[in-house]
Amino acid sequence: MAKLTLHQLSKDFGTGRPAVDAVSMEIRDGGFLALLGPSGCGKTTVLRMVAGFETPTDGSILLGERVMSDAARVVPPERRNMAMVFQSYALWPHMTVAENVGYPLKVRGVTGERYRAKVLEALRSVRLEAYGDRRPAALSGGQRQRVALARCLVTSPDVVLLDEPLANLDRHLRGEMEDAFREFHARSGATMIYVTHDQAEAMALATDVAVMADGKLLQMAAPDELYARPEGRRVGELVGRGAVLSVRAAAGAARHFDWQAVQLALTRLDNAPSVDLLVRPQDVHIGDGGLPAVVESVVFEGERYTMGLRLGDGQCLRVHWRERLQVGAVVPVIIAGGWRL
pLDDT in tens, 123-164: 988 889 999 999 999 998 888 888 988 898 888 888 999 998
| Among the ranges given (19-23, 184-188, 196-200, 275-279), the one the predictor scored with the smallest mean pLDDT | 184-188
Element holding 261 (H helix, E strand) = helix 259-267
The torsion angles phi and psi of 39, rounded to 5 degrees, stand at -60, 135
Q: Are 209 and 203 in contact (CB under 8 A)?
A: yes
Q: Rounded to two decimals, what is the model's pTM?
A: 0.83
Residues 6 or more apart whose CB falls under 8 angstroms from that of 122 comprise: 101, 150, 151, 153, 154
Provide, for the chain, the percentages of residues in helix, strand and coil under a 3-state DSSP scheme, each rounded to the nearest 5: 30, 35, 35
Q: What is the pLDDT of residue 265?
A: 65
Q: Assess whether pLDDT exceeds 60 at residue 253.
A: no
Q: Could you give the residue range(s) of every CATH 2.40.50.140 domain in the chain? A: 241-340
In the prediction, which pLDDT does 252 show? 44
DSSP 93: T
Task: Tell me whether residue 226 is exposed, middle or buried, using C-beta atoms within 10 angstroms of its C-beta: 0 to 12, 13 to 18, 19 or more.
Answer: buried
For residues 171-194, average pLDDT: 81
As annotated, the residues of the chain forming the CATH 3.40.50.300 domain(s) are 4-229
Q: Rounded to whole angstroms, how far apart are CA atoms 265 and 246?
A: 9
Tell me the per-residue pLDDT of 319-338, one tens digit each, with 9 for 90 and over: 999 999 999 999 999 888 77
Asked if the 241-340 domain carries CATH number 2.40.50.140, the reply is yes
Angle between helices 97-107 and 141-153 (to 10 degrees): 20
Rounded-to-integer distance, Cα 269 and Cα 259, Å: 18
Q: Which of the following CATH numbers is that of domain 4-229: 3.40.50.10800, 3.30.365.10, 3.40.630.30, 3.40.50.300?
A: 3.40.50.300
Give just the sign of the alpha carbon dihedral 220, 223, 228, 233.
positive
Q: Does the structure show a pLDDT above 90 at 72?
A: no
Contacts of 330 (CB under 8 A, 6+ apart): 292, 293, 294, 295
| Res. 256 pLDDT band, cuts 50 70 90 | low
| CA trace torsion 280, 284, 290, 291 (10° rounding) | 40
